[in-house]
A and B are shown apart, each in its own frame.
Chain A
Amino acid sequence: MRTVLIGGGSHSAYFAINAVREIDPYGRLVVIEFTSEKVDVLSRMFPFAELIRLDIDEVDSYVRSNSSIIDVVITATESDALNLRYCKMSKENAIPIIISIINNPLNAKIFADEGITYVINPYDFIHRELAEILEADVNILYRFHKTDILLASIKISKDALLHYLRKEIGKSHDLSAIFVSKTGEVTNSIDKVGLGWKAYLIGTRLTVEQILKNVRWL
């Protein structure tokens, strides 16, 4: 896989470069940076990557001329304006996978509106983590990007909720669940579950979302 990461000097780029290396150790990773000082530092930090210094305007022509051999473009600059510009340009050049690591969560929708499918929002986990630690009634733990699968947790705090889950899990073919008690006991059988347990559901987005919606009304 040939991956081009634009904006090597940001904090998120540091994690992204290491992640790409781990996921695809034999792939080719090109990191584009704008200042020669950062290129020097990055080439020492990441000897496995190919570091290129380009001006802001030169990135477009680099991607355009190499578009047939680029599999993935990751934009990770410190400016979402620049990230958006490079994502749109990569889309125009038919790059198969375009990922943007954004700086400001408020920009996520703007990227989505421009048809950028894979937007990584580094602040996304805050709500999820807080909901898990503070034991929210329902928590969406993960939305899988490439499949229509959703992972969520539900605190079983009422009998009505337990009955409802028993009914739903019994009849659904696109849903699986495991249950964890307060003492850490784990089971996949809802018959052994009582009040105070937590259900972890994994299933198609539609099914899980419908359950979460109904649970909120119970």
Chain B
Amino acid sequence: MDVSVIFPSKNRECYIKRAVKTAFKAKHVTEVIVVDGGSRDRTIELAKRMGAKVIVQSDLTYPGKGIAMRDGAYLSRGDVLVYLDVDIRNLTPDFVEKLTEPIINGEAEFVKGCFERAAGRVTELVAKPLLRMFYPKLARFKQPLSGEIAGLRKLFYKVNFERGWGVDVGLLIDFYKLGVRIVERDIGYKDHDMKPLYALTDMAYEVATAILKRAVKDHIIDAQWAERYLKDVKKLDFGEFEEGFA
């Protein structure tokens, strides 16, 4: 089985060279794809120099991680796709191999990576409670928002990618509903930058939206209720207060 490794990235010139080089060293890897969100630094140049295929995302504005992942899947030719963050400081070929092993051995079709650290704040406070309410079987995953994943390429063509941060949990739920065999695999310690608290608001909102949207579609949440209350949430989000609200 051929493996394609996909790195969504933007302005990551200090990480890209090492990331591409390391990915190529992993077993079965035949191509490395960098989906660039319109970098203004040397990310694209360095990625190409290291032998990666590069594509710039399809919108002029940065359309989000989900669309980057979708474009990576579209460009790839391998039987198995691996998605990794480009800014993992301790990235080794082992990361790729641990993710692909269950698929190559026929134990799973989709692998969710988890790592040796406490799950993030959005995971614990948003994703897990919502999954426990609406998709309890998925609440057993230690890190349902992990971006380190692997799966059979053909599976990624059967689902719609969320545009932004909801993509990882969205894929998990969609694959679960398709009856895909999913396992979680510990990939070891991951050394990368944590987001500051203020940057998590948008992320939490997108993750919650991705889960709730699916719950409505699957008739777990009443559509009329969602129409009324989620619209109100959106209004608040954009600051469109009703008259007299204050």
Contact = CB atoms under 8 A, between A and B. Distances in A.
B89 interface: no
B157 A57 contact: yes
A80 B71 contact: yes
Given A56-B157, A57-B157, A79 B58 contact: yes
B50 to A, nearest CB: 15
Given A56-B157, A57-B154, A79-B71, A84 B55 contact: yes
A81 B72 contact: yes
B116 to A, nearest CB: 33
Interface in A100-146: 103-107, 110
A178 interface: no
Majority secondary structure of chain A interface residues (helix, strand, loop or mixed): helix
A106 B35 CA distance: 12
A78 B75 CA distance: 13
A104 B74 CA distance: 16
Contacts of A79: 58, 70-71, 74
B193 interface: no
A106 B75 contact: no
Give the bracket for the number of chain A residues in contact with chain B.
Answer: 10 to 19
Nearest to B77: A85
Interface in B125-166: 154, 157
Contacts of B74: 56, 79, 81-82, 85
A168 interface: no
B154 A81 contact: no
Chain B interface, >50% SS class:
mixed
B35 A81 contact: yes
B240 interface: no
Residue of B59, B71, B74, B157 with most partner-chain A CB within 10 A: B74
A85 B60 contact: no
B170 interface: no
B56 interface: yes
| Most chain A CB atoms below 10 A, which of B35, B54, B75 | B75
Interface string B19-59: 00000000000000001001000000000000000111111
B157 A55 contact: yes
B40 to A, nearest CB: 11
